[in-house]
Amino acid sequence: MKQSMMFIPTLREVPADAEVKSHQLMLRAGYIRQNTSGVYSYLPLAHKVLKKIEAIVREEMHNAGASELLMPALQQAELWQESGRWYSYGPELMRLKDRHNRDFALGATHEEMITSLVRDEVKSYKRLPLALYQIQTKFRDEKRPRFGILRGREFIMKDAYSFHSSQESLDEGYDKMFAAYQNVFARCGLNFRAVIADSGAMGGTDTHEFMVLSEIGEDTIAYSDTSQYAANIEMAPVIETYEASTEVKQELVKVETPNQRTIDEVVNFLHVSKEQAIKSILFKVDEQFVLVLVRGDHEINDIKVKNLYGASVVELATPEETKNILNCVPGYVGPIGVNEGVEVIADHAVKAVVNGVCGANEENYHYNNVNVDRDYSVAKYADLRFIQEGDLSPDGEGRIQFAKGIEVGHVFKLGTRYSEAMDATYLDENGRSQPMIMGCYGIGVSRTLAAIIEQHNDDNGIVLPEAVAPFHVHIVPVNAKNDVQRELSEKLYSQMNNAGLEVLLDDRQERVGVKFADSDLIGIPVRITVGKKAEEGIVEVKVRKSGESFEVTTEELSSKLDQLLGN
């Protein structure tokens, strides 16, 4: 492609409103432009990279046995009413009416639609398993679109769905998809981890998120420093054990702690360690009030509370509710003397606290020398806290460390959530009707593009891995008005095109400094500079990633490129 014909509006300045590197670079390199908040155009360079990512996704989906289809973005409301999500999805689901005043959703995801499609056509166990996918534009009206195309309102997604007649078949399909996802992200040159994620009420390890490691990630990953273990921090179980100290239990005392509300304030004021403090928080678990205790240096993980009760909703009690139930303002809550309507549960670590400190359920007072069983009772001990750096890895191997991640993929065992709600059944070997067992598998294609750039850049611009680069080679004549340089550039351009390389030729009438800066910015792996030595048949090869450059004769060029491009 000749650059004069391509639309690559590069910018010299860093756009003021772009916070993260990938967003800045994609604007500067003429990859994207914003149309309105969270809505972007992919300009030709970005489009070429997207097509490369999509081609990788398609190959891996094909290898995983999935076939591609394309469902509509316009989804009649009736489908979402069948699943119940018309009512529960909230404002993120964009809705509209057609000319006949019928309600539609704009596809945020396609579980309902694929379930409806497959239930109408597949009636027998003989047609299962079945795996289908699409690569499609999705719509989600994010409350706070940000970071460019990392969190947009219109984005490109690969969504796959599988249908099975047994749990074993689902497991097998899930494993194939899991492997395909690892291949996709590895081929895209990403440093990523597959992490155990929250599967809601289903629990267990039935869902994984694929996280690209990045400081700007919105999720925290807990991973082992020695094994392959990795989980979303919300999901990592704590397997630490705690031994109670043998110190003598002291007498319980009530102490005045005026305006000392937080754990930090209280332990400083009372000159005790955070490990001695007992953090007590009142939650509303569905309709029941529960007082949750963890050690002062720990944080409560409400997903664990939710899973312990198998609850639908876990929320912090409001100050009003706290006042009503415990007759106390938040900051001074504690487990001593709470009435019988409130269940007290505690993290395992609390059991080992001797002569601890806790709120007195009275404003400006705490208790000291608190000891469980003597001073208060615990209905249940469980793992209720977030894992911390330094904790034992849940698989028993190594210690936990934290990293931030950008979620680019998600594999999920849906089970019969949709097939039961929408009556998607098949006849089994015995002629009995059974709900199909489903899995779903998503990849944020446009987000993957941003994640790749977030991981692959330097001070001069984007540095794309060859597998997803928009072009393999960038030919830049130093002086566009010099006939020898221009002719040699054109000659190399057509030779390389004929050899199957993807080449961008900078045929613009620009100063060489502008051309070099643009070349570095847009991130093509190899640049060939055609300068004064063109007359001798010598050009300069520059490797974008290493910065390494050297001269070669035009005869040597082809074999040199083969080496560099690993072909």
Contacts with a copy of itself by CB under 8 A lie at 1, 5-7, 9, 33, 35-36, 39-44, 47-48, 50, 62, 65, 67-76, 91-92, 94-96, 98-99, 106, 113, 116-118, 120-122, 126, 130-132, 137, 139, 141, 143, 153-154, 509
Residue 5 CB, nearest distance to a copy of itself (Å)?
Answer: 5
Q: Which residue, 117 or 421, is less far from a copy of itself as judged by CB?
A: 117
Cβ neighbours for 326, distance < 8 A, ≥ 6 positions apart: 282, 291, 333, 338, 342, 361
Query: Cβ 500 to a copy of itself, closest distance in Å?
Result: 15
Q: Which amino acid is at 336?
A: I
Q: Which residue has the tokens 């598998």?
A: 441
| Beta partners for residue 223, in sequence order | 230, 401
- Shortest spacing between CB 121 and a copy of itself, in angstroms: 4
Q: How far apart are CA 22 and CA 192, in angstroms?
A: 17
Contact 139, 73 (CB under 8 A): yes
Q: Which residue has the tokens 């393999």?
A: 472
Overall residue count recorded for the chain in this entry? 567
Smaller CB distance to a copy of itself: residue 38 or 217? 38
Residue 161 vs 289, nearer CB to a copy of itself = 161
In whole angstroms, how close is the CB of 43 to a copy of itself at the nearest point?
A: 5
- Comparing CB distances to a copy of itself, the nearer of 88 and 246 is 88
* CA 82 vs CA 76, 112, 453: distances in Å: 11, 8, 40
State in angstroms the smallest separation of the CB of 545 from a copy of itself.
25
Q: Map tokens 């149309």 to a residue.
A: 35
Sign of CA dihedral 326, 332, 333, 335: negative
Task: State in angstroms the smallest separation of the CB of 99 from a copy of itself.
Answer: 4
The nearest distance, CB 465 to a copy of itself, in angstroms, is: 21
Nearest to 140 by CA among 155, 157, 162, 124: 155
Name the residue nearer to a copy of itself (CB basis): 207 or 448: 448
Q: Which is nearer to a copy of itself, 101 or 563 (CB)?
A: 101
In this structure, how many other beta carbons lie within 10 angstroms of the beta carbon of residue 549?
11
Tell me whether residue 96 or residue 253 sits nearer to a copy of itself (CB atom): 96
DSSP assignment string, 140-151: ---SS-BTGGGB
CA distance from start to end of the chain: 21
Nearest distance in Å: CB 439, a copy of itself: 15
In the bound state with a copy of itself, the residue whose beta carbon lies nearer, of 177 and 196, is: 177
Least gap, CB of 135 to a copy of itself (angstroms): 10
| Shortest reach from residue 335's CB to a copy of itself, in Å | 41
Instruction: Give the C-alpha separation, 279 to 262, whole Å.
Output: 9
Q: Toward a copy of itself, which CB reaches closer, 117 or 308?
A: 117
Cα-flanking dihedrals φ and ψ of residue 443, to 5°? -130, 130
> How many Cβ atoms sit within 10 Å of the Cβ of residue 77?
15
Candidates 305, 298, 275; CA nearest to 379 is 305
Helix (H, G, I), strand (E, B) or coil at 226: coil
* Per-residue buried b or exposed e for 101-112, using 16+ beta carbons within 10 Å of the residue's own CB: eeebbbbbbbbb
DSSP secondary structure code for residue 277 in this structure:
B
Q: How far is the CB of 362 from a copy of itself (least distance, A)?
A: 43
Q: Which is nearer to a copy of itself, 25 or 333 (CB)?
A: 25
User: Using CA atoms, how far apart are residues 235 and 222, in angstroms rounded to an integer?
Assistant: 9
Q: Give the nearest distance from C-beta 558 to a copy of itself in angstroms.
A: 24
Q: Which is nearer to a copy of itself, 89 or 309 (CB)?
A: 89
Q: Which is nearer to a copy of itself, 134 or 276 (CB)?
A: 134
Instruction: Give the torsion sign (CA, 228, 233, 235, 236).
Output: positive
Report the residue number, 92 or 458, with the smaller CB distance to a copy of itself.
Answer: 92
Residues 397, 229 contacting (CB under 8 angstroms): yes
Q: Quick one: how far is CA 338 from the chain centroid?
A: 41
Distance (Å, whole) CA 453 – CA 455: 5
The minimum distance between CB 479 and a copy of itself, in angstroms, equals: 17
Instruction: State the Rg of the chain over Cα.
Output: 30
